[in-house]
A and B are shown apart, each in its own frame.
Chain A
Amino acid sequence: MKEIMLKNVVGSFAEDKDLAREIRTKEIVPALDAGEEVTLDFVDVDAATQSFIHALISDIIRKRGIESLDSIYFKNCNTVVKKIISIVTDYMQESA
């Protein structure tokens, strides 16, 4: 299991899409490729933009199918972050 502490990289307001893409391509995707599960830990992340979450996970869902969500865990999310993540995952499933 690979665990990624987002606060350390993106701060308390997760909005930088460039960082999101970097986390995805350099950490999440290689771990999934290696057959690992990934935990994205949002502890102390107060809020995230839809654009950030989209840049973080949408391409994984698009390329690997919605089943890829079975290998990704979202930990310590507050209500706002949970809702933003749900909007993005719903959107990716509905638009597929």
Chain B
Amino acid sequence: MKIHLPNSAFLGNIDPFLQSIDISDSSKLEITTNKKWISIHPVVLSMVAARGLTFQNTNIYCEQLEATSKHYLARMGLFKLLNITTTIHITEHESAGRFIPLTQIKNSADLTKFITEIIPLLHLDPKQSEPIKYIVSELVRNVLEHSGSQHGAIVCAQYYKKSNTIRIGIADTGVGITRTITTSHAANSDLDAIRLALTPGVTGTTRREGGTEYNAGAGLFFIKSIAKINRDFFMIYSGDALYKLLKSVGNAAHIRLYSDPFEDRHSKKENLPYWQGTAVGIDISLDATREFSQLLDAIREIYLKTVKERKKERYRRPRFI
């Protein structure tokens, strides 16, 4: 496998990066970078780290980095996590307020620690940190419960001062969304499976409305909705498919939520290099972050409407002959 880190890969322009992943040789991982500059979304780093953990460190080849911003990869803990040596020297300093380095979360205790000890290091006020804690918890629990990955979830985040945005990336190398969803639902493609996974009330654990005692099938829908109402990007990549929620336009107060992710302003791609597992990226603009309780009002409305409509679809009429 070859992964090339370009000079720029954020959620708005991540497609060329995904398309460039070369999966032809599964015996080793080669990491190359743009020679001048590397500016990448945390989800890109999480993907590289998650994939790297599936290789022995002796089978990971990272070229001599020349880019001015090469220190960023070291500071985010990429080489440390993959246990590969680098000649890049950085002065370690407190990450408080700026970034959360690559962190491997393998169980519930790791997640609790991450939420209670690491996220507060971003020094956000409660209004800003609530949706972030919510998003990380739901996404990582998805990985722990459904992915079957022995390496768990790889998470990192970065604060961008210029846009006053927190960008979060979570990746795993587990079974992927299609395998999970098709346990209980029919999906013809990876994109179909992603669409179902983003639909409220659909869980891979059961066909039954109402979910199971443990899963309601609402986690990803809530997260996509938080991004939409805040007019932020959200992407999910699994198997050969990419779904990307694009930034909503117009007055924030009039943004509508949809149960079908294809009704949202979005882009989608199929036949991308096959990503064994799932990668999720999300941006949270701190300027635009609406009160979390307001978000919940909007989410509740569409969530219940969807359930009612689906219930109605199941109605049976008497057949008079």
Per the bound structure, the CA–CA distance linking A88 and B218 in Å amounts to 10
- The residues of B that contact A83 with a CB separation of less than 8 Å are 293, 296-297, 300
Which of A50, A90, A95 interacts with B219 by CB under 8 Å? A50
Pick from B134-142, B187-195, B270-278 the stretch touching chain A.
B134-142
Please tell me the size bucket of the interface on B: 20 to 34
Complex contact A91–B213 (CB within 8 A): no
Which of B137, B214, B293, B303 interacts with A15 by CB under 8 Å? B137
Which of B215, B304, B311 interacts with A90 by CB under 8 Å? B304
- Does B115 make an interface contact (CB < 8 A)? yes
Please tell me the size bucket of the interface on A: 20 to 34
A-B contact count (CB 8 A): 95
- Does A92 make an interface contact (CB < 8 A)? yes
Complex contact B112–A16 (CB within 8 A): yes
Which of B134, B215, B216, B219 interacts with A88 by CB under 8 Å? B216
Complex contact A58–B213 (CB within 8 A): yes
- The residues of A that contact B115 with a CB separation of less than 8 Å are 13, 15
**What sequence of 0s and 1s flags, for each residue 35-75 of chain A, a beta carbon within 8 Å of any chain B beta carbon?**
00000000000110111001100110010000000000000
Task: Tell me whether chain B's interface is mostly helix, strand or loop, or mixed.
Answer: helix
- The residues of B that contact A17 with a CB separation of less than 8 Å are 141, 214
Complex contact B307–A95 (CB within 8 A): yes
Complex contact B141–A15 (CB within 8 A): yes
Which of chain B's residues has its CB closest to A56's CB? B213
Which residues from 132 to 160 on chain B have a C-beta closer than 8 Å to any C-beta of chain A?
Answer: 133-134, 137-138, 141
Q: A15-B141, A47-B133, A79-B293 are in contact. Are A87 and B300 (CB under 8 A)?
A: yes
Per the bound structure, the CA–CA distance linking A51 and B311 in Å amounts to 21
Q: A21-B214, A91-B303 are in contact. Are A15 and B133 (CB under 8 A)?
A: yes
Per the bound structure, the CA–CA distance linking A11 and B71 in Å amounts to 36
Complex contact B214–A92 (CB within 8 A): no
- Does B201 make an interface contact (CB < 8 A)? yes
Complex contact A11–B116 (CB within 8 A): yes
Which of chain A's residues has its CB closest to B221's CB? A50
Given contacts A51-B137, A58-B213, A87-B303, 9 further A-B contacts (CB under 8 A): A13-B133, A50-B216, A51-B219, A58-B216, A79-B293, A83-B296, A83-B300, A84-B296, A90-B300
Question: Which B residues lie at the A interface, using CB under 8 A?
Answer: 108, 111-112, 115-116, 126, 130, 133-134, 137-138, 141, 201, 209-211, 213-216, 218-219, 222, 292-293, 296-297, 299-300, 303-304, 307-308, 311
